Amino acid sequence: MRSRTGVFVGQFLFAALCCSVGPILLAVGWTVWRDGERWGLAVGAGGAAVTAMIPVVASVATRQMFPRITRRDRVRDGAYDSYGDDTFVMWAPSSAPGPAGAHLVRADVLEASLARYSPDGEATFTTHYGDYAPDEFTPVVRMRLRVHTAQDVRSEVTGEWRVPSLCLSAVTAGRLAVLVDPAGAGAPERVDVLWPRSALLAGTRTCRVVDLEGRTVDVTRRTGRQLAQMRISREVGGVRMVGDTIDLRRLDAPTAARYAALADRDRARPEEPAPVSEPGEEARLLVDELPGTEGGFGHVGRGWSRRGGHLVRARFLEMRGRTTFQDHGPVLDTVLRIRPADGTRPFDAARRLTVPLDYLAVLHHTRDVVLSVSPDGRAYDVDWNRTSLLAGVTTATVITPDGRRIPLPRRSDALWPLMNLLASHAVSNPAPVLDLRRHRTARVAGAVMDVLSDLGPAPADHRAGHRPEQR
């Protein structure tokens, strides 16, 4: 991971190249003015203005490219007090309304694979005006769906759909909200996916309902109730969510009464929450096909570690789509809740970040992010390398001193203590494979093995290159 200084130097050189006319005009103006020509002063002033823009442009570009959180990003106290730690609000591009006579039903994703994603912007930022989800930055995913019709008749449909990057986790979770348009005799049914509602049905977006008496009920991953709420919302032309909450006291009386009837039925026969991910996730896990940041145990600077630099975890509370994109992910307005390592009160920060596509594909599992804290505690750098490993985008492996390979399952409880252990001992390991046979990791080998043993029996060990005997 490049340091902020390295990014600034690169942007400064680039800005100096683009604005090279400034120093030239400054030198020419100074020379002419010294020869007694007054117009040289105007030329020199113009050159000075252009030259002065070089560090300004470099600073702005560095802030855009390097994900650092400082005091200026903190939000005022109380701004997000209504957001609990498990709240996640997503403002995603809206889907087309679909045919008027279509039925809103659930579809299960049986298989999924990336069909196309080929933007040509390289690493630059690309902004589109008036087009919230341009096709070139919207992955095309080929899926095989099991569609549940209104009569609970199931049919399978295979096709390709454009998936907004913020809603990729709905594919991985395996639950979609779709519109089925009954076609004529002998013609195939048309299936349109409602992507923001699919993220809601998948449990990526949290959902709460405040009833007419002011009681709040969490209906996240209650798929039956959510589908019924979506149908009511579609019939009445939409129901506004404030954050992640639907407040029945803000609705018109007939709509509120219909929602209240759903709540009464749910209290009489409570619905169990659906699983975080439907069975068969490996058949639709797209992280290996999507661009992003390779996961690893992370780079550690010796000076940073010795002066008290450390790691903390934060959690996304909100993501809001914008019209700026990079090849490996969209630029989003985000709100994070940061928990300092010293146990002081958590605080919220609002920061515009480029979020990798592969991380967005597992957003229903975790919204945690790893931050590297500066030794003075004033700056927090988003560490996507460690975040991807912790989120399960990449799987980790530990090679013991005697050559055994211990694969760690995705989102293993061992990852976070191992990352902190390596950071505190100034041991860099940007790769997801931690080889304890190497000289630089030998001094922490015992502590690493203690961490693994404290978390219970590890997955079945096997030696590198050794194949189990077939019987």
Q: 59-77, pLDDT tens digit by residue?
A: 776 667 668 899 899 998 8
Burial of 167: CB neighbours in 10 Å, binned 0-12, 13-18, 19+: buried
Can you give the pLDDT at residue 169? 97
Q: CB-side exposure of 94: number of CA atoms within 13 Å?
A: 5
Can you give the pLDDT at residue 365? 96
Q: Is the dihedral of CA 243, 249, 250, 256 positive or negative?
A: positive
Q: Which residues of 269-288 are buried (b: 16+ CB within 10 A; e: fewer)?
A: eeeeebeebbeebeebbbbe
For the chain, state the CA radius of gyration. 26
Can you give the pLDDT at residue 466? 38
- Give, in degrees to the nearest 5, the angle at Cα 134 between 132 and 137: 115
Can you give the pLDDT at residue 444? 94
Strand residues in 190-235 grouped as ranges (E): 190-193, 208-210, 216-218
Enumerate the β-bridge partners of residue 312: 371
Cα gap 261→125, rounded to integer Å? 48
Cα gap 353→63, rounded to integer Å? 10
Q: Which amino acid is at 22?
A: G
Q: Which residue's structure tokens are 């995705």?
A: 410
Q: pTM to 2 decimals?
A: 0.86
Going residue by residue through the chain (471 aa), what tens digit of pLDDT does each one get?
A: 566 676 667 767 777 788 888 888 878 887 877 777 777 778 778 888 888 888 777 677 666 766 889 989 999 888 898 899 999 999 887 777 777 778 899 999 999 999 999 887 666 788 887 666 788 899 999 999 999 876 666 789 999 999 999 999 999 999 999 998 876 444 457 889 999 999 999 999 999 999 999 999 999 999 999 999 999 999 998 898 888 999 999 999 999 999 999 999 998 999 999 999 999 999 999 999 999 988 999 999 989 999 999 999 999 999 999 888 988 999 999 999 999 988 889 999 999 999 999 999 999 999 999 999 999 989 999 999 999 999 999 999 999 999 999 999 999 999 999 999 999 999 999 999 999 999 989 999 999 999 998 776 554 444 434 333 332
Contact between 67 and 369 (Cβ < 8 Å): no
Cα gap 208→455, rounded to integer Å? 34
Cα gap 454→359, rounded to integer Å? 28
Can you give the pLDDT at residue 465? 40
Can you give the pLDDT at residue 249? 94
Q: Which amino acid is at 376?
A: D
Contact between 178 and 195 (Cβ < 8 Å): no
Comparing CA positions, the residue from 158, 110, 172, 115 lying closest to residue 138 is 115
End-to-end CA distance of the chain: 46
